[in-house]
């Protein structure tokens, strides 16, 4: 092979995502030990959603694959500046820069083993007819987040949920009820910022006897921001058969003390730190992979759940509080 080195490099690292609509830049570097004839140079930017598993219910394989992005950048004219009139690449080192753009309508990068993924790949390809129509290829994976702007007025609205649960004791005797309310200052949540959450819990159950309350002051409950990933796949042999899988992950949790029985409504204000680099809430329905989020207060007798929308862009000054 007369091409000793062929490598593509992007302007962002693997952990720094591009947003939908962003420009993507890179450079292709190559070293030729001898002059070599080529047919052209192209760069492909692809995005592929894949799901697949074997169902536990019917022990059948389910899998789906969809290429939703396939952008091509033709660099043949650019590489021609490094060639002879016969389109032979000169001996030595060559560098070719390129620039493309991520489409606005893209899906966020996701990776979950035994469930599915959304992956992006940049492929540089140079055809060499001298070596039996071979190709020199270099690939780089990159991360993309869909563009979800939190400037819409409804994403600045408060949101709340209230639930009441009866508590029973020994032999089914009613001990009272627990009423819980969770309110978030803005339903739109931005990664890397804080969200102001108000928790009000009233424990109407009967007070424990003193000898049973020794550890009450040290007991805590968890408030978590949860990410739910939903996957869809079709049967390998019968496309009319569809299977679904879901997985929920607590991406961040804060502890808060339990409320005391018989003390009336107790309210706590929490500044919840949202972790950075979260893929935004999916804005497309009926996709192979979708992402959603909710806050969950883990109480002894029930969970209080409040859906929120995680964005990827917020141009209005100020943080989500």
Q: How far apart are CA 202 and CA 163, in angstroms?
A: 11
Asked which of 6-20, 201-215, 303-317 is least confident by mean pLDDT, the reply is: 201-215
Q: How far apart are CA 245 and CA 62, in angstroms?
A: 11
Q: How far apart are CA 99 and CA 23, in angstroms?
A: 7
DSSP element (H, E) containing 257: strand 242-257
State pLDDT tens for residues 82-135.
999 999 999 999 999 999 999 999 999 999 999 999 999 999 999 998 766 788
Mean pLDDT of 266-295: 91
Q: What's the mean pLDDT when you consider all of the chain?
A: 89
State pLDDT tens for residues 8-65.
999 999 989 999 999 999 999 999 999 999 999 999 999 999 999 999 888 899 999 9
CATH of range 153-310; options 2.60.120.10, 1.10.10.350, 2.120.10.70, 2.60.40.640: 2.60.40.640
Asked which of 15-29, 83-97, 152-166, 209-223 is least confident by mean pLDDT, the reply is: 209-223
Q: How far apart are CA 6 and CA 14, in angstroms?
A: 19
Under a CB-based contact definition with an 8 Å cutoff, are residues 264 and 202 in contact? yes
- List the end-to-end C-alpha distance of the chain, in Å, as a whole number: 59
Asked which of 83-92, 156-165, 251-260 is least confident by mean pLDDT, the reply is: 251-260
Place of tokens 């979260």: 278
All residues at 6 or more sequence positions from 113 whose CB lies less than 8 Å from its CB, including other chains: none
DSSP tag of 149: B
Tokens of 121: 């790949």
Domain boundaries, the chain: 3-145, 153-310
| CATH code of domain 3-145 | 2.60.40.640
Q: How far apart are CA 146 and CA 109, in angstroms?
A: 9
Residue 260 predicted with pLDDT over 80: no
- 312 versus 260: the higher-pLDDT residue is 312
Mean pLDDT of 196-200: 94
DSSP element (H, E) containing 233: strand 220-234
The torsion of the CA quartet 75, 81, 83, 84, rounded to 10 degrees, works out to 140
Q: Which of 267, 285, 184 lies closest to 225, judged by CA?
A: 184
Q: Which residues pair with 159 in a beta bridge?
A: 184
So what's the pLDDT on residue 204? 77
Domains 3-145 and 153-310 are alike in CATH topology: yes
């Amino acid at each position: 092979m007369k091409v000793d080195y062929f490598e593509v490099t992007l302007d962002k690292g693997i952990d720094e995502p591009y947003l939908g609509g962003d420009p993507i830049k890179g450079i292709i570097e190559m070293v030729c030990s001898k002059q070599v004839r080529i047919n052209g140079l192209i760069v492909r930017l692809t995005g592929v959603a894949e799901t697949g598993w074997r169902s536990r219910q019917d022990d059948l394989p389910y899998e789906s694959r969809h290429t939703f992005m396939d952008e091509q950048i033709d660099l043949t004219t650019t590489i021609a500046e490094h060639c002879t009139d016969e389109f032979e690449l000169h001996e030595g080192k060559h560098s070719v820069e390129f620039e493309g753009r991520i489409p606005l309508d893209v899906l966020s990068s996701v990776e979950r083993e035994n469930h599915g993924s959304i992956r992006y790949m940049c492929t540089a390809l140079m055809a060499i007819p001298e070596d039996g129509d071979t190709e020199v290829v270099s690939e780089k994976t990159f991360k993309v987040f869909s563009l979800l702007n939190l400037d819409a007025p409804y994403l600045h609205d408060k949101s709340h949920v209230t639930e009441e649960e009866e508590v029973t004791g020994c032999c089914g005797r009613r001990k009272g009820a627990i009423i819980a309310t969770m309110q978030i200052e803005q339903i739109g949540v931005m990664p890397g910022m804080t969200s102001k959450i108000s928790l009000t819990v009233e424990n109407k159950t009967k007070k424990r006897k003193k000898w049973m309350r020794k550890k009450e002051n040290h007991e805590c409950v968890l408030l978590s921001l949860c990410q739910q990933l939903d996957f869809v796949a079709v049967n390998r042999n019968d496309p009319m058969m569809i299977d679904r899988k879901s997985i929920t992950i607590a991406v961040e949790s804060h502890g808060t003390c339990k409320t005391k029985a018989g003390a009336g409504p107790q309210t706590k204000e929490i500044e919840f730190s949202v972790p950075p680099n979260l893929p935004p809430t999916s804005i497309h329905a009926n996709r192979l992979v979708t992402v959603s989020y909710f806050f969950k207060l883990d109480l002894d007798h029930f969970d209080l759940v409040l859906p929120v929308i995680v964005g990827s862009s917020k141009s209005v000054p100020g943080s989500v509080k």
